[in-house]
Structure 1
């Protein structure tokens, strides 16, 4: 290419912002445009601490205008509505944006097809959902709280189950702290007999043992039928519930349907091992938007999105320069399952799985990581 490359990044989440940093590190001249409704990063991993008061909304929203200014990024405050010209034209609610290379990092969308799902709170939909949980818990004098999650039946990787364990254990710890746990029954439900299997068999055993230790009832291995006001209905029976927290599986963004992007069976954008959109030149996908080759335990989490972003940024610049695109990523699951006071560290890659027992140190490590991660954008 002659002249600076015009690069458009769709989204303002973990993968998108990591892509901005990596591109700018490698190319000081590139003209980078970010298309996202707001110039804000919502740090969703820490919404687990909102119900117990450890975090507030203002703690987890980072204005990105200063970061964009430092990175010399143009922000288009709009929503994506479609693509044309093989990705070279992005249609948005604010007009068309032209590019030489495109990165899709708009995250995923929760599948809301289960009958009666409006009776549940879906925690990872954002900060407002966590605040709703906080307010409902404050108003409850007692009762049954049912917590569960499910996967995309067409793409088992498209699931976010880890935070549901954290909400479950966090609520248990909060009620104990408040001296009212004996007035509540906690029930964990999941269609699988081994919920969280992507974390490894040892982790699943540890999570179920921790539930037993805390007096949390389990309802496992039964396909979900519907939700009702005050009830979870499965093929294996019903769970009476005064509060239902449920995380359905994930699929692609609604705007994908207005494009000819290649889709996986689960509705995500099909990508190769270099994060290239299959069959589309100079188009890349990172994070929850994409369906990538790899093991069935490969996670949908911020850490994985960061790894995608590094590979995509290098391949994008190499591709525009006519160089071979060889950068890949190693699937890696890295998380701390937090209870509000302790944390279980889980690390998994193709070579090994490491699980540490719940430690107070890991809770503080998770808080320290939050501070360090957000510092680069503040």
Structure 2
């Protein structure tokens, strides 16, 4: 009787959970172990609605115990600290875990190298950051709010700009609903003249036009130098601000440094078109942790992580069975840039780019997607 494959998945986010689902769909008997600090899914796409009160912390944290039980998955509550034996042994704060195949889906880490970055809030760090924004906004009687993002200069794809447009437009919408928008100045800043270029030129034009329509000032095309209390400093001047929201570029997890995993110039894990980590047998990466071949606009988003997961799961099982690893993925960008009342749908593939104007229907579509997505884990 053939022994069931021991598969270890690191992480409990979109890519990791999609890998669990795909592996279990293809192999009912595999021994799957998931390693993450907590058996919880934090649904970060909806933290944009926390400042306005549309969502609360408890709405966005889903306990994964029931899902893991249904999937026949063992969860180990631990932090990963390293790998040995070419990935066959994972070192964690709860002990070592051996495997026949490994999937790394531990997400990315935000670069915090700009001097004074502690003076800015990094929204996508999690629910607590969004709650801090909520509380700061509630306490403000007026003033200037500066919102921006930047990329990893060594890995231009490693950027999460979409949510910053959502915080920008969402805060504008919120202040108007509260009847106090005239007491605030909103400023959007970015080192590029075309922020969000990977969304497509038409999308960038639409976003900048929407900022102009809403009376949002822009400070574009100037290299960022530092943050100071109440100030954003760039090569093109300073922005005085009472609240600064800033999303830096992304890099790999700190624990990668304790391994010999191959790294891209930007610090992510080098992977091929089959999501295999270069030079490491039966080791795969999905989602934000990886640097994959593809067009420069290939996104760091949940949808792309799920496409990686499907390919990685198929190739992993084929490799363990001695079959060729042939599953790949087609880069796709799919997002709804939400303003708190309307949403702009953006779809991009190697063949075309589709952008719809802001529609109230798309705001509700984003909320509907959230309910359907979380329903499979609740």
Band of TM-score, shorter chain: over 0.9
| Map of 1:29 onto structure 2 | 29
Give the whole-Å Cα distance in 2 for the aligned partners of 1:231 and 1:89: 47
Give the whole-Å Cα distance in 2 for the aligned partners of 1:58 and 1:128: 12
| Map of 1:218 onto structure 2 | 218
Q: Structure 2: state its 5+ residue gaps.
A: none
| Map of 1:333 onto structure 2 | 333
| Map of 2:209 onto structure 1 | 209
Matched, 1:96 2:96: yes
Stretches (4+) displaced over 3 A: none
| Map of 1:81 onto structure 2 | 81
Q: How far off is 1:2 after superposition?
A: 2.6
| Map of 1:366 onto structure 2 | 366
Give the whole-Å Cα distance in 2 for the aligned partners of 1:103 and 1:318: 14
Q: How far off is 1:3 after superposition?
A: 1.1
- C-alpha distance after superposition, 1:282-302 (max 9, x if no partner): 000000000000000000000
1:315 counterpart SS class? helix
| Map of 1:174 onto structure 2 | 174
Give the whole-Å Cα distance in 2 for the aligned partners of 1:268 and 1:346: 26
Q: How far off is 1:236 after superposition?
A: 0.0
- C-alpha distance after superposition, 1:112-133 (max 9, x if no partner): 0000000000000000000000
2:345 counterpart SS class? strand
Give the whole-Å Cα distance in 1 for the aligned partners of 2:17 and 2:61: 14
Give the whole-Å Cα distance in 2 for the aligned partners of 1:132 and 1:327: 42
Give the whole-Å Cα distance in 2 for the aligned partners of 1:104 and 1:268: 11
The within-5 A match list for 1:5-44 is: 5-44=5-44
Give the whole-Å Cα distance in 2 for the aligned partners of 1:137 and 1:321: 55
1:81 counterpart SS class? strand
TM-score by length of 1: 1.00
Give the whole-Å Cα distance in 1 for the aligned partners of 2:179 and 2:371: 30
2:300 counterpart SS class? coil
RMSD: 0.6
- C-alpha distance after superposition, 1:96-125 (max 9, x if no partner): 000000000000000000000000000000
Give the whole-Å Cα distance in 2 for the aligned partners of 1:267 and 1:300: 15
1:185 counterpart SS class? strand
Give the whole-Å Cα distance in 2 for the aligned partners of 1:310 and 1:84: 26
2:299 counterpart SS class? coil
- C-alpha distance after superposition, 1:203-225 (max 9, x if no partner): 00000000000000000000000
TM-score by length of 2: 1.00
Q: Structure 1: state its 5+ residue gaps.
A: none
| Map of 1:375 onto structure 2 | 375
Give the whole-Å Cα distance in 1 for the aligned partners of 2:70 and 2:290: 28
The within-5 A match list for 1:79-158 is: 79-158=79-158
Name the count of aligned residue pairs: 378
Give the whole-Å Cα distance in 2 for the aligned partners of 1:153 and 1:209: 27
| Map of 1:4 onto structure 2 | 4
- C-alpha distance after superposition, 1:268-315 (max 9, x if no partner): 000000000000000000000000000000000000000000000000
| Map of 2:307 onto structure 1 | 307
Give the whole-Å Cα distance in 1 for the aligned partners of 2:358 and 2:152: 29
Give the whole-Å Cα distance in 2 for the aligned partners of 1:306 and 1:366: 17
